[in-house]
Amino acid sequence: MNDVLAGLKPESVFHYFEEISRIPRQPGKCNKISDYVVSFAKERGLFVMQDEKLNVLIRKPSKRPDSPYVILQGHMDMVCEKSYDYDARHDFSKDPLKLCLLDDFIYAKGTTLGADDGIAVAYMLSLLDDDSLDLPGIEALFTVDEEDGMKGAMAFDTSELKGRMLINLDHEIEGEIITCSAGGKRVKCSLPVKYEKVSGTAYDIIICGLAGGHSGMEIDKGRGNANLLLGRILHTVSKKVPYSLKYIGGGLTDSAIPREAKAEIIIDAKDSDTLENIVEKYSRIICDEFEGIEENMMIYAENKGEDSAMCLENESMRRIGFLLNTVPDGIIKMSRKNEGLVRTSLNCGIMKLNEKEFNLIINMRSLAESEKEALADKIEYLMETIGGKYIEEYDYPAWEYEKSSKLRDLAFDIFQHIYGRNPKLRGFHAGLECGIFFKKIEGIDIISFGPDISNIHTPKERLSVSSAARVYEYLLEILKAI
């Protein structure tokens, strides 16, 4: 296999980034990437520990006498999204990513790139592989399943760690040092359903081409949620055209704003023109509402011919419609102290319909634990009201701001020296594993930073080569100064 990134500098960083891009890294299926990291350590005679969840800790002592250990941390798994109109056959469980290089940017053909957080893995492997560096002791912690409720970090036994300074490498904007992050909760809203046999003219109503994006970092961009927009269109249709719902679904992960959604309905043949006119009209209305934000959005109805199928009974359909048109979504509250910082938000990331139930998977985030719980109570009450179930699937803590941080002060000063300007210190609405380590390790001093990565959690994800190189040098200078 050709090395697309050969010749990019630092060579070691981009070598390892390309190496791990060939290894499957789905959340919940990190055995191959975890074993690769373990083999890397063993080949170099480094201390390595792999726990039951497949987290990996590699320890490399310093050449300096009595040097402290510094924890470097990033996650091995990646969000697996693809463009169905480009590479529908890509299998994330076995196929390597198809890396491409265009000017200053690395991307993957038709899929997410996995620079979130593959660049952290590449940084850590590169550092561990270089014996010429004069650094403190390094504890490189490679976690799993960050994109699935941070399950790896949650399960990791932090008593194995010697360091009390932690640098998380899971940020996507160069020039920023993250000082705190939101806590989060994923919940499943489940509605029981019943079916009946229906015959008539079948239609698919499809919403696609939305920008999507990370449900923490991009939630402030005002982007459309395909799941809820589809619920809105179906409600509009129901006012003039009786229909039966055969299928509804959308979104691939709760941590990404859904880009596509589809409903399969059956109507009376005489209502075909009315249905098509309604969808066409509201397609224009919704596209106008998102002008300048969703330039590639498409909403259309496709006639699939005559059909006879099991569809939802009216009461089941009514409750699903009620949920999709009343559930909160997007920004709930902005920070009063930090301009532009989202304080609390909610993303209706996945909806699925099966033989027994309709499920809506929700990801909620907040910098305030009390607001996160209040929002969860609101969703639970809504589900109880319409006869559904509310199930919490995971809950992770916020990383709270510390007024005093020697590591933050050091990173600030070194940034000034290298870049000739001040870095931006900011809170982060997305969840970071930092919150878990903040709660687990008393007195831990934490910062987070990373290179420029755009459109994460979407097939348009891009990693800046020049930014990745600069941030690696910045990381080295911080470590040398400790």
Same domain, 149 and 234: no
Averaged pLDDT, 237-255? 95
What's residue 52's pLDDT? 97
Same domain, 231 and 110: no
The answer to whether residue 268 sits within a structural domain is yes
- CB neighbour class for 352 (10 Å; exposed up to 12, middle 13-18, buried from 19): middle
Cα–Cα distance for residue pair 136/120, rounded to 1 Å: 18
Residue 301 has which token pair? 């109805």
- Domain of residue 87, CATH code: 3.40.630.10
Residue 197 has which token pair? 């046999």
Cα–Cα distance for residue pair 40/383, rounded to 1 Å: 48
The chain-wide mean pLDDT, for the chain, equals 95
What's residue 30's pLDDT? 97
Residue 354 has which token pair? 């099966």
pLDDT single digits (tens) 459-479: 999 999 999 999 999 999 999
DSSP state of 206: E
Residues 123, 472 contacting (CB under 8 angstroms)? yes
Same domain, 200 and 157: no
Question: Using CA atoms in the order 281, 286, 292, 298, what is the torsion angle rounded to 10 degrees?
Answer: -70
DSSP state of 327: S
Residue 145 has which token pair? 């399943």
Q: How many CB atoms lie within 10 A of CB 404?
A: 7
Same domain, 31 and 117: yes
pLDDT single digits (tens) 172-204: 999 999 999 999 999 999 999 999 999 999 999
Averaged pLDDT, 107-128? 97
Inform me whether the pLDDT recorded for 1 exceeds 60: no
Residue 394 has which token pair? 């995971």
Q: Specify the number of domains making up the chain.
A: 2
Would you report the helix, strand and coil content of the chain in percent, each value rounded to 5? Answer: 30, 30, 35
> How much of the chain exceeds pLDDT 70, in percent?
99
For residue 431, give the H/E element and its range. strand 424-431
Inform me whether the pLDDT recorded for 440 exceeds 70: yes
Same domain, 205 and 352: yes
Averaged pLDDT, 263-292? 97
Cα–Cα distance for residue pair 35/49, rounded to 1 Å: 11
Q: Which of 356, 374, 403 is the last residue of a domain?
A: 356
Strands (E) in 397-450, as ranges, are 424-431, 445-448
DSSP bridge pairs for 391: 188
Question: Of 203, 234, 198, 208, whose CA–CA distance to 322 is shortest?
Answer: 234
Helices and strands: H and E segment counts in the chain: 12, 20
Domain span at residue 67? 11-174+449-481
Alpha-carbon 38 to chain mean position: 25
Cα–Cα distance for residue pair 308/440, rounded to 1 Å: 56
Output the pTM of the full model: 0.81
- Most distant CA atoms of the chain, gap in Å: 84
Cα–Cα distance for residue pair 430/365, rounded to 1 Å: 7
Q: Which of 356, 379, 402 is the last residue of a domain?
A: 356
